[in-house]
Chain A
Amino acid sequence: MLVFGAVMVAEYAVFRRALFTIGELGAASAALTLYFLESVMVLIFVLALLSFVASGLWVYYRARDTRLLLAAPIPLGGLYALRSVETFTLTSWPLGVVGLPALLALGAAYRQDPGFYAYGAVVLTCFAALTGAGGALVTTAAGAALRRAPSRLVVAVTVAVLLVAFIALVGRNLVPSAVDFHVMFEPGTLNGKPASIKFIEGKFALWPSHPFAAALYTRATGGPAGSAATGWALWLAPLGALLGAATLGRRLYGRTLPAMAESFGPAAAAAPSPRAAASGFPRWLSGPIGALIERDLIAIARSPHELGRAAFIALLLLLYTSFIVIAPLREVADRPEAVARLLLFSVIASGYFITAFGLRFVFPSLSLEGRVAWVFFSSPVSAFRLVMARAALYVSVLSVVVVPIAMIGVVRLVREPGLVATMAALLLLLAATTATLLLAFGAAWPDFREPNPETLSTSGGGLAGTVICLLYVAGMGWIARQAALASTGGGSTVTWLAIGAVASVALITGALGLARWRLRTLEAR
């Protein structure tokens, strides 16, 4: 809640500043205000609908208590209403996080009275009804098309398809090009008249969010926007969507849920289920620790959810890599202070990726043994040996993935071999220390009852590990900067490398010592 609150306050400040600036643009201000409102409403619509479908496919058809409620004397219509309310509550956050700050900023920029805010709240409520009912319709239609309870992979693919479709629509129709700006503003600039908003209305006319953006614009600026049909659509579209959800959506849900409830869980044992090759295990590693590590790897490889998270972090890494490759780093290579700052940035960016990956995959690894922890605890395998083996695995993976990418940027910036070697060593130390520290903290404070890695990462141990990692990463960035300055000043980088190494070794030793001490008294509770 605190994070959402902080984001909303920050958005309000940015929107308010933007709208005040737009208001000072004279001829272009009305058109840009409408563009701002249309964009915000489209963003809310896309986010709310995607969230609804992503969560709804799970909540409507695979919630844990589905069988219990099906066995209870509750009509399917009642269950449908319950699932719709649950999903809407979970997924209406874009209205609060984006819509509310935008409404408040619009009111502040155009100095509106309380009546405006009341009207705005009504408009946003109607918009919420449209997105919620639309989401319920899309979800039940997708459910009817799938005919089986959706797996995580199916949910991910459905959301990805919708996302790509929305990106294509938004990218092709809504993102303004230079030609668009010319069409919008040039006549107004030449003759001093306000720029026409017709072009913008045309661009957004087919989006369901258009009547709501137009209504807020008209009320805030006093300028007319939208046709009579748009005015009617403001009230009739939510009403129609609600009626559709209450009739068609309800009928689709009632028809598909009973069949779907049979397609997952123990009742589906006789149905075809994923099968592994009937060969032995482990296939690639050997020994007890090797088997446990291989089990970790196949658990990630066979879970679309885990793969999705790993892919997201990989995507961020890919964006960072392309930035490093594209950025004109060689142009600043002869400016020592700029080089030092960029090396600092490179270390901090690498540390960010390692910490993000570590929090999601490394820190929770022992806790995620969960209800199967009995296997490990009753086996003749030392918990500390497993921690050490996992540390070796994650340090290797992170070193191989992150360090070469960071070194591409370093090599483009730095010609001095001593500084290049120092940076490589600092980045390796960074990967080793961060991964080991997060793993050790996860082993020292596991929670076998919590299955959610995100929740585990925000536990006391996770937060302590994150703070220490971030301070350490900042420290290593500063050391890299000092080493760069020393090198360009003709000095040696060895002192700075030694400081980094001592700090890293101290942290690794301390974290592993803590884990070893805690593991001696650890119970599978």
Chain B
Amino acid sequence: MPDQGRSGALGATLNGPLLRLQHLTKQFTTQRAVDDLSLSVAPGEVYGLIGPNGSGKTTTVKLIAGLYRPTAGRVEVAGIDLHQEPERAKRLLGYVPDEPFAYERMSGREFLHLIGELWAVPAAERARKIDELADLFRIGSTLDAYVESYSRGSRQKLSLIAALLHAPRLLVIDEPIVGLDPESAARTRELLADYAARGGAVLVCTHTLAFAEAVCHRLGLLRDGRLAAEGDLPTLRALAGAAAGDSLEDLYLHFAARS
């Protein structure tokens, strides 16, 4: 697990956590997807949310991104209640969905400019950042084609760039490396680590345990909408009574088997 950087440009002015979930509950018609969930992510921290299918990870992420409204509880972004002051809170938030859909009849560049305009990034600045991030993810050559022609990986890169474009203080990413080639996956890992080192906070929801182990400072194992275990790797090992060399996959299987 990486070292945690707590100071930097992105989180410099905040003392408390950049993300705080308090007793968050989401009840669908017949199913409680998230059940009294509380957690927080500090500036400089990458928090990994892992768990089996249907454990409530994506619902939690959608609640944080403002796509769903909680049945009970609160989502705070940098101390701002997301559902009381959504526009203020969302300015600080970058979101990458699990399915990276974008407007099919727009070019990737147009889409990114639209995102920049929605988050009030000045035109010149966003043009520069688009080129910079497109170079980083090696997507520059396809950026002017309509999104309808993009592969899954290109769409994933596009939504990652879109989330980073306005330099958010909190990044919420649902499955960050699905569809990415190994090189781009490695770049994403470095980028998230660098982002956290500069004071940003990241909540990553993933099934790729090797990625989570490499990039996350703390992990939360979600089961039936509740946190079954939480902490850094040594803490999780201690909770599981595992040996020092046990991987996150061993711990995951241990907690999953216990459930």
Known: A377-B66, A380-B87. A282 touches B101 (CB 8 A): no
A side interface size, CB within 8 A: 40
Assembly CA distance A266 to B88 (angstroms): 37
Known: A269-B150, A287-B117, A288-B117. A374 touches B67 (CB 8 A): yes
Q: Enumerate chain B residues within 8 angstroms of A382, measured Cβ to Cβ.
A: 87
Residue contact A280 to B67, C-beta cutoff 8 Å: no
Q: Enumerate chain A residues within 8 angstroms of B66, measured Cβ to Cβ.
A: 377-378
Residue contact B105 to A303, C-beta cutoff 8 Å: yes
Known: A266-B151, A280-B123. A524 touches B142 (CB 8 A): no
A257-298 vs B, CB cutoff 8 Å, 1 = contact: the mask equals 000000000101101011111101110001110111001001
Residue contact A377 to B67, C-beta cutoff 8 Å: yes
Assembly CA distance A277 to B109 (angstroms): 9
Assembly CA distance A395 to B90 (angstroms): 30
Residue contact B105 to A380, C-beta cutoff 8 Å: no
Nearest Cβ on chain A to B27's Cβ, whole angstroms: 12
Assembly CA distance A377 to B101 (angstroms): 13
Assembly CA distance A204 to B86 (angstroms): 69
Q: Enumerate chain B residues within 8 angstroms of A303, measured Cβ to Cβ.
A: 105
Known: A299-B105, A523-B69. A268 touches B149 (CB 8 A): yes
Residue contact A378 to B67, C-beta cutoff 8 Å: yes
Nearest Cβ on chain A to B230's Cβ, whole angstroms: 25
User: Closest residue of chain B to A273, judged by CB?
Assistant: B149
Nearest Cβ on chain A to B172's Cβ, whole angstroms: 9
B93-109 vs A, CB cutoff 8 Å, 1 = contact: the mask equals 10101010111011101
Residue contact B95 to A278, C-beta cutoff 8 Å: no
Nearest Cβ on chain B to A389's Cβ, whole angstroms: 13
The verdict on B91 contacting chain A, using a C-beta distance below 8 Å, is yes
Residue contact A266 to B152, C-beta cutoff 8 Å: yes
Assembly CA distance A271 to B65 (angstroms): 35
The verdict on A191 contacting chain B, using a C-beta distance below 8 Å, is no
User: Closest residue of chain B to A379, judged by CB?
Assistant: B118
Residue contact A281 to B65, C-beta cutoff 8 Å: no
B58-75 residues with Cβ-Cβ distance < 8 A to A are 62, 65-69
Known: A380-B86, A381-B118. A273 touches B99 (CB 8 A): no
User: Closest residue of chain A to B93, judged by CB?
Assistant: A378
A85-138 residues with Cβ-Cβ distance < 8 A to B are none
Q: Enumerate chain A residues within 8 angstroms of B90, measured Cβ to Cβ.
A: 378-380
Instruction: Identify 14 residue pairs between A and B in the complex whose beta-carbon atoms are under 8 Å apart, listed by A's number.
Output: A275-B144, A276-B109, A278-B144, A280-B113, A280-B123, A291-B114, A295-B114, A299-B105, A371-B99, A378-B66, A380-B86, A380-B88, A380-B89, A523-B68
B interface residues with partner A (beta carbon < 8 Å) = 62, 65-69, 86-91, 93, 95, 97, 99, 101-103, 105-107, 109-110, 113-115, 117-120, 123, 127, 142-146, 148-152, 154, 162
A interface residues with partner B (beta carbon < 8 Å) = 266, 268-269, 271, 273-278, 280-282, 286-288, 290-292, 295, 298-299, 302-303, 370-375, 377-382, 521, 523-525
